[in-house]
């Protein structure tokens, strides 16, 4: 029987945070394999397009203010797998090129705590275009401590006061994963919550994820009058909690607020924050809140206290945008910590269009429904949802068989739309650590539609990327494509390769006889 032991910690100093740090440093980009750490909901093309619209609106606002010379730095905190940055840059460049209007230049800086992630981004093929264009750079950034940014591509350092333009901060699934304080409001007083952890006697033998899974957490309260003193940096919001809340456990984002303050000092003009998380901005949602539970996914996450962040920033002159309706899975906010924030009409209108009216949270709710009903959807419904999601590869991977089953009833226009969608999808596909043969699915579907030139392109791409032995069916399909494209020598070569692997492949044998007769 395994012995356990208990230790008491201040919540923000508990070993869970060091385990969180070690998990990401050890795993690198592998942390997002199989969606172990969730990434789709905050990194898909749809949310990227919403962010690109708001960034574009902000660039327009700065241009209208006569600030078109100095570059705008877009800083992503906790960029993780890198997928969001890629999609945002792609959508933003499309908007820039389509509009053709004067805008300030911009550079996107991806940051994370593990240097292993930074090195992986530097090598990622999909990001090289933006690096070469000079609009993408990288930096390691510790949200709990760093005061400057050391960019790895340009070799420059951004220090306090260096930026003339406001800093534009992107923080998805960020505030819920960095250290937080835990306080309790009761009888008009503030208590600090200590966490009592029960964990195995030899946790060093376990991985960080295994240790987190093995822990049992309990909480105890102790009076914390320091929070109630007027000298406390965030006294106003604490006083509000004392007045309005009772019997409530509050995750307080002291580290997150301090991080925003340090980042704010990098610019002489304030910042704009775009953020999405499991987080509440309404005070009533913190009433009678129970102690937090760790949501485990290799690492862990909690709930972000957007109310505290928005309240503190608004007290300092910011304007905070959150949806008037309740969120289900993802709360998306925009905080304008800027001089005359209401003058940023382009930014605010973009939020209204892309988040308030219909945004990433609504899209994800629809996707959950679509995932359950995929086999009942018609071709037009599949195409409509695929288009709504920005021709996302993950939806195509899920729906390829359904697309295939509906081809017999598809018209020429629908087939043309499928073909166009595949090309759009391929141009915005971001390969992650866990590879999937998207080219194969695309090529086989195009082959079924008898679009042989397109099918040949994707099937050859699949063959080149696959390190395993080729599948005879793929070689046979390539042989047919080559035959239809009148590349008979290549068709014969593919046919012979298919038969080496499967000598009794009837269709390949028939094709071999036909090709031999034409020699």
Quote the pLDDT of residue 407: 96
The DSSP code sequence of 212-259 is: HHH-EEEEEEEE-GGGGSTTSTTHHHHHHHHHH-SSEEEEE-HHHHHH
Separation between Cα atoms, residue 278 and residue 301, nearest integer Å:
9
The 10s digit of each residue's pLDDT in 34-45 is 556 667 888 999
Contact 474, 459 (CB under 8 A): yes
Quote the pLDDT of residue 516: 80
Count Cα neighbours of 283 within 13 Å in the Cβ-side half-sphere. Answer: 12
What are the distances in angstroms from CA 449 to CA 156, 423, 438?
A: 51, 15, 17
In CATH, what is the architecture of 373-516?
Answer: Alpha Horseshoe (1.25)
- Kindly report the average pLDDT of the chain as a whole number: 92
Quote the pLDDT of residue 216: 85
- With bands split at pLDDT 50, 70 and 90, how would you rate the model's confidence at 2? very low
Q: Is the pLDDT of residue 466 over 50?
A: yes
- With bands split at pLDDT 50, 70 and 90, how would you rate the model's confidence at 518? low
Lowest mean pLDDT among 15-29, 41-55, 369-383: 15-29
The pTM assigned to this predicted structure is: 0.94
Q: Is the pLDDT of residue 262 over 70?
A: yes
Query: Higher model confidence: residue 448 or residue 17?
Result: 448
Q: Of 337, 180, 317, whose CA–CA distance to 264 is shortest?
A: 337
Phi, psi at 327, each rounded to 5°: -85, 155
Separation between Cα atoms, residue 481 and residue 491, nearest integer Å:
8
In CATH, what is the architecture of 30-178+256-358?
Answer: 3-Layer(aba) Sandwich (3.40)
What percentage of the chain reaches a pLDDT higher than 90? 76
Q: What is the mean pLDDT of residues 401-410?
A: 96
Quote the pLDDT of residue 1: 39
Q: Of 321, 325, 301, 302, whose CA–CA distance to 310 is shortest?
A: 321
Q: What is the mean pLDDT of residues 434-454?
A: 92
What percentage of the chain reaches a pLDDT higher than 70? 96
- What are the residues facing 108 on neighbouring strands? 74, 136
Quote the pLDDT of residue 16: 87
Q: Is the pLDDT of residue 160 over 90?
A: yes
For the chain, give every domain's residue range.
Answer: 6-21+179-251, 30-178+256-358, 373-516
Q: What is the mean pLDDT of residues 78-100?
A: 96
Q: What is the mean pLDDT of residues 127-141?
A: 97
Lowest mean pLDDT among 210-219, 276-285, 369-378: 210-219
């Amino acid at each position: 029987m395994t012995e356990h032991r208990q230790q008491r910690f201040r919540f923000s100093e508990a070993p869970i945070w060091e385990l969180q740090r070690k998990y990401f440093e050890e795993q690198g980009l592998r942390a997002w394999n199989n969606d172990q750490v969730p990434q789709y909901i905050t990194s898909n093309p749809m949310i990227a397009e919403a962010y690109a619209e708001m960034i574009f609106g902000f660039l327009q606002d700065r241009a209208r203010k006569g600030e078109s010379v100095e570059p705008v730095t877009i800083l992503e905190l906790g960029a993780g797998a890198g997928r969001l940055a890629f999609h945002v840059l792609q959508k933003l460049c499309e908007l820039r090129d389509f509009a053709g209007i004067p805008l300030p230049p911009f550079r996107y800086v991806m940051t994370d705590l593990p240097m292993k992630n930074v090195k992986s981004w530097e090598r990622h093929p999909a990001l090289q275009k933006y690096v070469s264009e000079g609009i993408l750079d990288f930096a390691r950034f510790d949200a709990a401590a760093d005061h400057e940014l050391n960019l790895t591509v340009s070799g420059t350092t951004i220090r306090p006061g260096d930026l003339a333009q406001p800093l534009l901060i992107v923080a998805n699934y960020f505030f819920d994963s960095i250290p937080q304080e835990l306080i309790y409001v009761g009888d008009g007083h503030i208590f600090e919550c200590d966490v009592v952890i029960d964990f195995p006697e030899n946790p060093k033998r376990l991985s960080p994820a295994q240790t987190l899974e093995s822990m049992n957490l309990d909480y105890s309260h102790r009076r914390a009058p320091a929070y109630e003193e007027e000298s406390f940096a965030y006294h106003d919001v604490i006083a509000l909690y004392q007045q309005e809340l009772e019997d409530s456990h509050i995750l307080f984002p002291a580290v997150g607020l301090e991080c925003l303050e340090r980042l704010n000092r990098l610019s002489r003009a304030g910042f704009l924050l775009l953020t999405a998380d499991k987080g509440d901005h309404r005070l009533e949602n913190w009433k009678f809140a129970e102690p937090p539970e760790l949501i485990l996914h290799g690492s862990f996450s909690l709930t972000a206290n957007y109310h505290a962040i928005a309240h503190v920033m608004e007290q300092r002159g910011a304007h905070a945008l959150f949806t008037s309706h309740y969120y289900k899975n993802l709360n998306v906010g925009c905080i304008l910590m800027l001089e005359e924030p209401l003058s940023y009409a382009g930014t605010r209108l973009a939020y209204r269009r892309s988040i308030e009216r219909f945004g990433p949270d609504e899209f994800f709710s629809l996707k959950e429904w679509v995932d359950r009903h995929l086999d009942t959807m018609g071709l037009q419904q599949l195409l409509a949802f695929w288009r709504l999601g920005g021709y996302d590869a993950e939806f195509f991977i899920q729906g390829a068989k359904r697309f295939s089953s509906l081809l017999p009833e598809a018209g020429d226009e629908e087939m043309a739309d499928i073909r166009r969608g595949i090309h759009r999808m391929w141009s915005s596909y971001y390969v992650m650590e866990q590879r999937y043969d998207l080219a194969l699915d695309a090529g086989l579907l195009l082959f079924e539609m008898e679009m042989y030139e397109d099918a040949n392109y994707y099937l050859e791409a699949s063959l080149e990327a696959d390190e395993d032995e080729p599948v005879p069916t793929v070689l046979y399909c390539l042989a047919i494509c080559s035959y239809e494209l009148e590349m008979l020598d290549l068709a014969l070569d593919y046919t012979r390769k298919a038969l080496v692997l499967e000598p009794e492949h009837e269709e390949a044998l028939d094709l071999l006889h036909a090709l031999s007769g034409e020699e």
